[in-house]
Chain A
Amino acid sequence: MNSQAPVMNQQHTPDVAQPYTRNEQACHDLSIRVRDLNLWYGKSQALKGLNIDLFQKNVTALIGPSGCGKSTFLRCLNRMNDLIPSVHIEGLVEMDGQDVNAGKMDEVALRRRVGMVFQKPDPFPNSIYENIAYAPRMHDLVSRKADQDELVEKALRDAGLWNEVKDKLQEPGTSLSGGQQQRLCIARAIAVQPDVILMDEPTSALDPISTATIEDLMDKLKEQFTIVTVTHNMQQAARVADYTAFFHLGEIIEYNDTKVMFSTPAQKKTEDYISGRYG
């Protein structure tokens, strides 16, 4: 469904007119549009003129060496960077035709539509049930107890956790294993029916088997959600991602269909990184 080549950030100052028009046509598939995004931590610039289109119901992987800005970029998409006082952002991050950084955009509304899963599983110190039910209740998605039960079951089923926890919903979420906790966090994120799920190295704290489970889950979840994931693991990007963006020193060096990117990278730097020459 996404036959078009996605936008690439070819140089510091990309030719704006030419490459984007093609994607404007494909806007029914477009989830998030980023143009000339710059971000500073105090005086040091962490993101430099990023341009990228993220497509609906696809997995996009962000790869690159440590400190290249991929997590920072990810947090721009649901404004988690607002929590860091010294951050200054310029440029456009557009979702549904609206600038998410604009004054009239409420970051709570944004985070309702753009969920997030963090590197370390971080369930709330409550029961498994309460972990899932909290956010929908807060956002007034459910009023009756029965609806709430149903929603909890659906979220846990979608996260592939239901069979493992259905008999112990009242036990603390922290009593689960690391991989189960991470799937609980995914269930928590999808319980409010967001459009986009951001995952910040979701498997880096997990063992290989749990990692494989989460990867399968991502594959299934992209039927419903747009997934943007940061990963240090290039094999993982190759396995799960439809599109991959390669970050280096705060810039997007290359952004393309994953298969194309891993077989015939256009940039020398990408090739060096993918083949393990640095990073």
Chain B
Amino acid sequence: MSHSFDEISQQLKRRHRKSARLKWASMGALGLAGLFLVLFFADMLSKGLPAFQQAYINTEVRYTEEASRDGRQAFDQDLIPLISRTVVRVIPLQLRNNPEMIGTSEQRWMLATSEVDQYLKGHRNRLSDEEKAEIDERVAAGQVDLRFNKTFFGSGDSKIAENAGILSAVVGTIMTMIVTLLISFPIGVMTAIYLEEFAPDNRFTQIIEININNLAAIPSILFGLLGLAIFINFFGVPRSSPLAGGMTLALMTLPVIIIATRTALRSVPDSIRHAAFGVGCSRWQVVRDHVLPLAMPGIMTGSIIGLAEAMGEAAPLIIVGMVAFIPDVGASFTQAATVMPAQIFTWSGEPEQAFVEKTAGGILVLLSVLISLNAFAVVLRKKFERRW
């Protein structure tokens, strides 16, 4: 029995409608996700970009004897409330290092208080009307201005909002990541090589495999508890140190690296292995000379993404004490340090208005580091991708 075209197209119409509905639904989901992403970035950029600028006041600084004891004495009386409290220590320190400057004076851009900064940026502030008028006047004269915020990128945390910077957190993150990489990369890659290329496929290795996959899905805060219990309490690794944090994050990154490496090894075609065995390679030679070079781009990509994930992690590091207040840039792996996400977390809890933009600015720095890392991973993969 045959059907006419009309009957068939009648039935087809229903099928076409169905697929059109599905198509619109999935495009809608994609659009929604894109919209949220745009909103998120717009919000972060509008809040965070102002943090990269800071109010400065151009004024005469008189390096008198009094100023070498109390830095505030170097300025006009009416300016003192507007200039950052940091001068109390900064100017005497400068004069102690350069005694020949005492008795001179110069015209300098000085850091203003965060209240002035917030006023210039149009945010909530606690300035009196006279102070506002004073600032407006000096703005008109070009003596108060928003300039590039060297402090934010050049110094560590501070309780004085205008003096707080992200550098100590950046350095802490770098040191923590070095520890994480040095521990998790070799162990993870070797584990994956053993499991994929050497281990027999039996119940024991299957159990190991299941456990590794489960580890990758464990809430990261549990790794923090493990790090606290094992590394700090049992092995006595210094609390808050990049060493403790890096070891804790290494635990978290290990399963990611193992899984990525196994996937990369598995994607190397068996024909390469057989060819290598065929010319008389031992198992290790097959892996070292033929399988690993082909799998390397995949391994690197997976490891970088694993590291990026660890870099954005705050919870486990809070537990091992890396939310400490760190005003100075860290110098060793066993000294207390903090990391970018923990720094952002700390700032987000500060009551002062100026810290809102610091928080968003910190997020922007973290995001750009993560995006560059991911871009680097993509470039690496493209560059070393080989045909076979």
Q: Tell me which of A59-67, A113-121, A225-233, A251-259 binds B.
A: A113-121
Nearest-neighbour CB distance to chain A for B292, whole angstroms, equals: 12
> Are B271 and A122 within 8 A (Cβ)?
yes
> Are A174 and B387 within 8 A (Cβ)?
yes
| A134-B289, A174-B387 given; A108·B271 CB < 8 A | no
Contact of B16 with A by CB under 8 A: no
> Are B278 and A111 within 8 A (Cβ)?
yes
Task: Write out the residue numbers on chain B whose beta carbons fall within 8 Å of the beta carbon of A85.
Answer: 200-201
Nearest-neighbour CB distance to chain B for A68, whole angstroms, equals: 21
Contact for A118 among B200, B274, B386, CB less than 8 A? B274
Q: Tell me which of A22-30, A185-193, A216-224 binds B.
A: A185-193
Which residue of chain A is the closest to B271 with respect to CB atoms? A122
Contact for A135 among B271, B279, B294, CB less than 8 A? B279
| A120-B271, A174-B388 given; A138·B278 CB < 8 A | no
How far, in angstroms, from A78 to B388 measured CA to CA in the complex?
Answer: 25
Contact of B335 with A by CB under 8 A: no
Chosen A-B contacts, 23 in total, with CB atoms closer than 8 Å, are A80-B274, A83-B273, A83-B277, A85-B200, A108-B282, A109-B280, A111-B277, A111-B279, A117-B278, A118-B274, A122-B274, A124-B276, A125-B294, A125-B386, A125-B387, A138-B280, A138-B281, A138-B289, A139-B280, A172-B387, A174-B388, A188-B275, A189-B278
Task: Write out the residue numbers on chain B whose beta carbons fall within 8 Å of the beta carbon of A192.
Answer: 279-280
How far, in angstroms, from A134 to B277 measured CA to CA in the complex?
Answer: 12
Chain A CB within 10 Å, residue with most, of B273, B274, B285: B274
> Are B285 and A138 within 8 A (Cβ)?
yes
Q: Digit string of A180-216 for contact with B (CB within 8 Å is 1, else 0)? A: 0000010011001000000000000000000000000
Task: Write out the residue numbers on chain A whose beta carbons fall within 8 Å of the beta carbon of B294.
Answer: 125
CB within 8 Å of A: which B253-276 residues: 271-276
Nearest-neighbour CB distance to chain A for B180, whole angstroms, equals: 32
How far, in angstroms, from A120 to B272 measured CA to CA in the complex?
Answer: 11
Q: Which residues of B contact A (CB under 8 A)?
A: 200-201, 271-282, 285, 289-290, 294, 386-388
| A80-B277, A188-B279 given; A118·B271 CB < 8 A | yes
> Are A125 and B388 within 8 A (Cβ)?
yes
> Are B278 and A78 within 8 A (Cβ)?
yes
Nearest-neighbour CB distance to chain B for A265, whole angstroms, equals: 33
Task: Write out the residue numbers on chain A whose beta carbons fall within 8 Å of the beta carbon of B282.
Answer: 108
Nearest-neighbour CB distance to chain B for A189, whole angstroms, equals: 7
Contact of A33 with B by CB under 8 A: no
Contact of A112 with B by CB under 8 A: yes
Which residue of chain B is the closest to A117 with respect to CB atoms? B278
